[in-house]
Amino acid sequence: MYLVRSDGPYLQGVVRHQGQYQHVLVTLPGRDDAPPMVFNTVTPEGARPVGCGNGINRSSGQPVPRENIAFKLEGDSQVRIGKLDAPASLPPALHSRLGFDERWRDENTSPKAAPAAAPKAQPGDPRPI
């Protein structure tokens, strides 16, 4: 699945459906009580609903990072999972319309490790001759 923001309350892109890549237009809900995202294939006759999806807020009762979307298309036996490429860069309104109940936040608090072979410069040490 590859989706990009479109004009209005839509995403557009491609999904692999029934063994082929198909152009889709995804309708985003406008309210909390609205149905989830609706995946529509684009045909010469117009848009045809083929599935639905929503943001994943919990897994096994535990909160999870708000960066994955569960969706199911016609003919699928199992739910598929799609991951947002850059959740921090999404506008808050769009992130919410994907079905997330709170804003994404980076939960990785581990410091970045320096390369093992990086030289350590010490201020005040004389320069080697």
Residue spans per domain, the chain: 2-97
Q: Is the confidence at residue 123, as pLDDT, over 80?
A: no
pLDDT in tens, 58-77: 888 888 888 899 999 998 88
Scan for tokens 């991951």, then name that residue. Answer: 83
**Model confidence, pTM:** 0.72
Q: Which helix (H) or strand (E) holds 93?
A: helix 92-97
pLDDT in tens, 15-69: 998 889 999 999 988 776 777 899 999 889 998 999 999 988 888 888 888 889 9
Determine the Cα–Cα distance for residues 94 and 29; give it in Å rounded to an integer.
10
Determine the Cα–Cα distance for residues 129 and 126; give it in Å rounded to an integer.
9
Question: What residues are paired with 51 via a beta bridge?
Answer: 39, 73
